[in-house]
Chains A and B, each alone.
Chain A
């Protein structure tokens, strides 16, 4: 890849999680405007990579470059300001706050309050169903709706790069399709995305490029289509 087309690059990063080395030297590249997926089984270190990128789990060694900034020693709030927005797995929402408050919290780091309205409208354009629930406590929404609020919240920070951790988790097959459609739509608007998924099939169909993580290392990488047809990937992650 040419240097100026690269949005994010990691060089041989190592991360400890609970004192165990969870990431043992991972090098990734994300091209501007692309969707990159990290697939792998439970405990392969996918979420840990995302946490390293957003600064929640600092790296032990290696380098992370975002645009022209070296970001591996920055605090999470500074990384958000640069344009990386993380939707973590597990607790994704402030469940006692309303949908509207959650979206407002998403724009926490922004100073341009006039633009907020426009961006909020854009979020409702992606997720029209949320508009009716704007004053409802986020914790009372269904799983799919919560996922949508979480993605919407991340978009409110005007990210250049969106980190999505298991957006399909716990959703019905129909909702998975809907979320996939929205992810593609967001990407078309120019937001690059790193997608961590256990649902490898959905992830590889969406992504342009993929990395297969196994026990903290990149076992395989390539164009998403070629990974879909790779025998190892088929056997291990796509159910034969």
Chain B
């Protein structure tokens, strides 16, 4: 068991180190752009996973991201707030909205809650596209969202977000913070309680868990990080349009989690990474992109029903066996 952990830790640290030095290896803005999308998708997938640990599904994750993106962009553009205040505010805004929606609707079980989140997602997009056009900018959205304000960090020169490189490091830092926070949460007493809800509502009630409270809590925490991702998106990519956060985007986030492996913490991270790169490769084929994507999904579901992560785990075991044989 310990050996397996060593290998796992080695892979994780190696990946982080690799991500850190990428801008030194390639200064191609396209590469960094793809990686930033990948990091955003990791934040979205792992935060949706938090909601799924209590046994709920949400099809509004992209909508909560939209709430974060618009909140952040408007606070900066209209009120002149610095990005560093607007970003947490956007997370809090998404969380408050989730708290309200969740408190009302999380009593609904299974598919009913899923339908509510679907409807909510559509309503959010509808509001951003058609209402208060002077504020939200209608279908064309908000254009010219400024990059984050320059910051001073001790020991290094002032960071100004004028190129992709600092933006990439910002995305990487936020992703690491998100992943680490959720990892800590998963291993805490709260994480255990979430797991109890997923295993059985009735049983959880029997031992005295206020199931409603914890479902709302998981939903709120998950949506908070979706809001943060929205803020990061808005200030990294300059333009925010309602269509960026459509129902399809929510489905994609869900697919990252399921294809990566819902039962494991690393699953959603892996799913988001692999599928983002995969769709980037498929992009060349234009309209055929979604067909290729669909086929890939079917294949994964057929042959790796517990997600890509199970393949990785099998490979790790094989590699260890190989090492043993070499040593022996």
Contact = CB atoms under 8 A, between A and B. Distances in A.
B200 interface: yes
Contacts of A29: none
B42 to A, nearest CB: 25
A127 to B, nearest CB: 18
A170 B14 CA distance: 50
B199 interface: yes
Q: Which of A86, A94, A153 has the most CB of B within 10 A?
A: A94
Interface in A42-63: 54-56
Contacts of B205: 55-56, 76-77
Given A76-B208, A81-B208, A108-B209, A101 B203 contact: no
B206 A80 contact: yes
Contacts, number: 56
Nearest to B209: A108
B281 interface: no
B210 interface: yes
Contact of B208 (A80, A87, A93): A80
B199 A88 contact: no
A172 to B, nearest CB: 24
A153 B205 CA distance: 13
A87 B207 CA distance: 9
Contacts of A86: 206
Interface string A89-105: 00111111100010011
A157 B207 CA distance: 8
A104 B210 CA distance: 16
A91 B197 CA distance: 13
Given A97-B192, A97-B195, A91 B208 contact: no
A153 B202 contact: no
Task: State the majority secondary structure of interface residues on B.
Answer: helix
A109 interface: yes
B199 A157 contact: no
User: What band does the interface of chain B fall in when counting residues whose beta carbon is under 8 Å from A?
Assistant: 10 to 19
A177 interface: no
B208 A56 contact: no
Nearest to B198: A96
A106 interface: yes
Given A94-B195, A95-B199, A88 B208 contact: no
Of the listed residues A77, A86, A95, the one surrounded by the most CB atoms of chain B closer than 10 A to its CB is A77
B196 interface: yes
B226 to A, nearest CB: 26
A202 interface: no
Given A97-B196, A157-B208, 13 more contacts: A56-B205, A56-B206, A77-B205, A77-B209, A88-B202, A91-B199, A91-B200, A91-B203, A94-B199, A95-B199, A105-B196, A108-B207, A109-B207
